[in-house]
A and B are shown apart, each in its own frame.
Chain A
Amino acid sequence: MTTALSQHKVESILYLNGVNKSFDGFKAINNLALDIAPGELRAIIGPNGAGKSTMMDIITGKTKPDSGEVRFKDYIDLTKHDEADIANLGIGRKFQKPTVIESLTIWQNLDLALAGGRGIWQAMFATLSGEQKARIEQVLDMIGLYEKRAELAVNLSHGQKQWLEIGMLFIQEPEVLLVDEPAGGMTDVETMETARLLKDISQNHSVIVVEHDMEFVRALESKVTVLHEGSVIAEGSLDQVSAQERVIEVYLGR
């Protein structure tokens, strides 16, 4: 990953400009601009319906924008690719609702996510190398689920599912991780653990976190972008943006 970055002298790992998307006349995304530097950790906040999830859908190829530029590493036009392509290009996504494969074990979930061939024939005859096994074990340790590796994912608690999904995202070895509400349904302790985990990951990945929980966002100690009605209304440190009148207005609903 780091080699890929140094090869191209990438200025923006993700670059959105003038992006618009309407659903049945409702403007979910309105002239949205966003610029994420390589290796950056960025928090995105905003009230319900601000367009956070639609923005994720556009970046990951689930939704095509009506207009605008969406670029990955300056030169890849993401609007021309679909979900599987974009995942393989190096953008991983965690859903708002924890989405793991419930009828497979924790280990099998990570095995599926493990970076490597995604083709049908490769999958048919795939076996794990010792190196890959070690990698899975390492991630199991990281997300604190080593003891539970042989259990079915359906038996995990909500918070554990969130961690498993973050682990799956991580082991996929993307350059950018899009993480949608990772602290949803977590206890305070779990929330702080998750913030620490994401900060660790951001040491050598670009991470974009969408979150409602202000304590969590504060713990990330990152640049914050505030979305409202599909556009950016403020950007800066959490203290800076929360001092802005427009942000207070939107959040307190005055």
Chain B
Amino acid sequence: MFKHSVLFQLIQNDKAGRWLLALLVVMGVVVPFCNMVIPEGSFLHIPTYVVTLLGKYLCFALLALALDLVWGYCGILSLGHGAFFALGGYAMGMYLMRQIGDRGMYGNPDLPDFMVFLNWDSLPWYWLGFDNFGFAMLMVMLVPGLLAFLFGWLAFRSRVTGVYLSIITQALTYALMQAFFLNDFGFGGNNGLTDFKDILGFDIQADGTRVSLFIATVLVLIGAYVLCRFITVSKFGRVLVAIRDSESRARFLGYRVEHYKLLVWVLSAVLAGIAGALFVPQVGIINPGQLHPINSIEIVIWVALGGRGTLYGAIVGAVVVNYAKTYFTGAFPEIWLFLLGGLFVLSTTVLPKGLVGLVADIKQRRLEKRMTGTGTEEAKA
């Protein structure tokens, strides 16, 4: 039965993917167990802040996965994926703001604090509906998706490609950052959205909520990986590769390149938006800083260092670089940016296929060594 299931077929030839999924499932079970069941003070206890930190890494992993889908498979180097991430994050943040109700500093039951502070007397139209979790989740996907659709429709139809497209994506996130910095834009300006109290009625600070958010992130990441894998092993995925390798060949074969690009681009933006929505309740804040171009460039580094065009490489890269970031910004805060730059240089010069490519190369070399070893023995015999 299982042998014929779609899932089985998807991971059948994906050894690294199977390991990754297994690891995620184990994490999804063991981490909550070590946090909730094993008592504090025990060697095996995982404190809640670590659970949240891991959850944050996995949100970034989802974001990296989204970027790898368009960059690794279709050759669209987005330097603005942070924009879709932030938009998803803001949509979630708006819901969380509405959940505060009259518990804000000003105790206004109808308006978030920053609007009271700005002397607004009513909720702007674009905040309507965000009291509703379902509606907010819809917006988490719809807003980044629509922006990506509009952007992609214009860019791909006019055949903007390569470095020009990358620069426009960078401009997109920069422009959004400038807009979100404005107080009058209606999203909390500089400070963004924060001071969240609860989500779906549960205290956002409580251990149980944090663990649940972590588990949700694990599950979404697994689902997203399987979806991306489905897409990339389908004929659709091979058309994407054809577009990446030779766009005009794909056109002369009769494929509508702009349709393919648009679909994968929108899907990638939606995944990035979901990543943002999972990120915000775990870190407790979303502000325009997330839209800074440097954040989008960091995502590219995660994917490049992990190994693009593999899906799991992006996840490995995101977790490794972000763990390094946590460590180094704590231990040696002043050198982190140099290190990040160094990583990028390293990944483009020494590791063009990223960490997962390096592992594969080492394995290959070992295999060849063994093969030639037995080869000579056979020759002797």
Contact = CB atoms under 8 A, between A and B. Distances in A.
A93 B252 contact: yes
Nearest to A108: B238
Nearest to B257: A84
A233 interface: no
Given A84-B251, A103-B241, A103-B245, A118 B256 contact: yes
B340 interface: no
Interface residues of B, number: 23
A102 B241 CA distance: 9
Please report whether the interface of chain B is mostly helix, strand, loop or mixed according to DSSP.
helix
Contacts of A112: 235, 238-239, 242, 253
A163 to B, nearest CB: 16
Given A112-B242, A120-B260, A168 B236 contact: no
- Residue among B242, B244, B252, B257 with the highest chain A CB neighbour number at 10 A: B252
Interface string A50-92: 0000000000101000000000000000000011100110001
A103 B248 CA distance: 16
Interface string B250-282: 011111110110010000000000000000000
B246 interface: yes
Contacts of B363: none
Given A124-B234, A124-B235, A126-B234, A113 B241 contact: no
B231 A124 contact: yes
A198 B245 CA distance: 27
Contacts of A95: 248-249, 252
Given A84-B257, A120-B263, A126-B235, A101 B251 contact: no
Contacts of A126: 234-236
Interface of B: 231, 234-236, 238-239, 241-242, 244-246, 248-249, 251-257, 259-260, 263
14 contacts: A87-B254, A93-B252, A101-B242, A101-B245, A112-B238, A112-B242, A112-B253, A113-B253, A118-B253, A118-B256, A120-B259, A120-B263, A123-B234, A124-B231
Given A82-B251, A111-B235, A126-B236, 5 more contacts: A83-B248, A83-B251, A84-B257, A172-B253, A172-B254
